Amino acid sequence: MRKLWGARNMNNLGIALDSLVANRLRSFLTALGIIFGVGAVIAMLAIGKGAKEEIMNQMKLVGVNNIVIKPVTEDKKEEDEKEQKAAAGQEKEKQKFSKGLSLEDAHSIRRMVPTVDAISPEMILDQDMIYNGKSKKLKMVGVEPAFFELNNIGLSEGKMFNQEQLRGGEGVCIIGAGVKRKFFLSEDPIGKTIKCGQQWLKVVGVTDEKLISSATKENLGIRDYNMDLYVPIQTTLTRYRNPAIRIQEQQGWFDEGERVNIPDVPVHQLDQLIVKVSQPEQLTESAGIISRMLKRRHSDVMDFEVSIPEQLLQQQQKTKDVFNIVLSAIAGISLLVGGIGIMNIMLASVLERTKEIGIRMALGAQKRDIVMQFLFEAVLISLSGGIIGIILGVAGAYTVDKVADIRTIISALSILLSFVLASSVGLIFGISPARKAANQNPIECLRHA
């Protein structure tokens, strides 16, 4: 009985295939809705998965529990407003002075904020690095060991700065993996001496390779860590630049012990300050405490900004989730339209092939044979449209990745889901035409011209 049932279904499948091949153009046009719907599903899932992974990678880069403090200078618009007020004869407000973001701020945060787990001050200078006849301008970053922990940067060779090197501001450095490729392609850099600016530095370590996409660099405003050169922050202060000292020479603050010329724009010692708190739920509260403390230290001058990268990334993820929901709605509508199109074409096909149905029934075909024949046609249209849609979706996702520089990840689950959706649409919207064809009167069908 099973063999007979299998043979009948194979025969019904063959009849359905012959019908689709005989009407190739109509079958293709019928499947267009499924093609675009499945293609949209594949592309949507690929973009969504790529965006989620990119957000997770960005969170790893900035740290889950990190607070970032950056210096800001007075806005040009505010300066213009002050000049306009002065020109209009209004009383000029007494200017408050702040030396900007400094290493003392970092020490104060470490001492006074109990939720702080680690803190990393940074000073960034553009310097020319020279070694063995090769020269390149790169970023020299004055850091403490906490910098590498907070930014998830490990060492592939050598060792970290020791306490003596940190306190004494010795001429040592750790180079990025990209710097090693540029200058030490065929030799071991550990122990070598390089010239950075006007100073000679001994290489004591090399960082791990850190892959960062251009989109991530733009979104987070971070550098290419692989092309940086890291030195103890005291080395930067003593051997290169210390705004807290040089400001006297640059601005003429002091004359015989008295301040005579206070600059309008603060001169910042640090370029960035990263603070890691113990628990994620302490981020917002800790950021508020740090902001109020720095404002008091800086004489109520808001010459800094405090941001929480994780919250910014979470907001970015919500925005992308909304985008994915819109894409899902478009894909769902396209599949619905495709299913309705299949049902309409199949109903029209039933009317066109009324006489064929009558002949099959007269030759011994049962109702279930007619049902299976038309159901096979609907499912085959859906599956063929699904296969083309998958190809289109994969190509679209690849194009978006390469042309628009939006990361996409195509998973086997999305392809499987597309097959299930395509077959389900054909099955659901093909049942009604198939049952209508099977319920017709054979005699009336044979009379049909």
Question: CA separation (Å) from 59 to 118, 188, 314, 352, 366?
Answer: 17, 33, 9, 60, 63
Contacts of 380 (CB under 8 A, 6+ apart): 16, 17, 20, 426
- Residue 121 has phi, psi (to 5 degrees) of -80, 150
pLDDT on residue 77: 39
For residues 94 and 82, what is the distance between their CA atoms, to the nearest angstrom? 11
pLDDT of residue 418: 79
Amino acid at 41: V
**Separation of alpha carbons 90 and 83, rounded Å:** 10
Residue with tokens 């994780």: 310
Name, in order, each residue with C-beta under 8 angstroms of 371's C-beta and a sequence gap of 6 or more: 434, 435, 437, 438
Q: Are 268 and 102 in contact (CB under 8 A)?
A: yes
Contact present, 68 and 309 (Cβ < 8 Å): yes
Which 8-state DSSP code applies to residue 158? E
User: Within 10 A of 56 (CB to CB), how many other CB atoms are there?
Assistant: 12
Q: Tell me the C-alpha distance between 341 and 30, whole Å.
A: 6
Give the torsion through C-alpha atoms of 177, 182, 184, 189, to 10 deg: -40
Decide: 393 and 40 in contact? Cβ < 8 Å.
yes
* Predicted local distance difference test score (pLDDT) of residue 317: 67
pTM above 0.85, yes or no: no
Half-sphere exposure of 139 (CA within 13 A, CB side): 16
pLDDT in tens, 245-301: 544 444 444 444 444 444 445 577 888 898 888 887 788 888 889 989 988 888 877
Ranges of residues in the chain whose predicted pLDDT is under 50: 1-2, 4, 76-77, 80, 90-94, 246-264
Q: How far apart are the first and last CA of the chain?
A: 36
Catalogue the E-assigned strands of 77-210. 116-131, 134-143, 155-158, 172-175, 193-196, 199-207
Spatial separation of the C-alpha atoms in residues 39 and 33, rounded to whole Å: 10
Retrieve residue 263's tokens: 């600059």
Distance CA(249)–CA(252), nearest Å, equals 6
- Residues 230, 158, 118: CA angle, nearest 5 degrees: 55
Let me know how many helices (H) and strands (E) the chain has, helices first: 16, 12
Q: What one-character-per-residue DSSP string does 377-441 give? A: HHHHHHHHHHHHHHHHHHHHHHHHHHHS-------HHHHHHHHHHHHHHHHHHHHHHHHHHHTS-
Structure tokens at 360: 């099959």
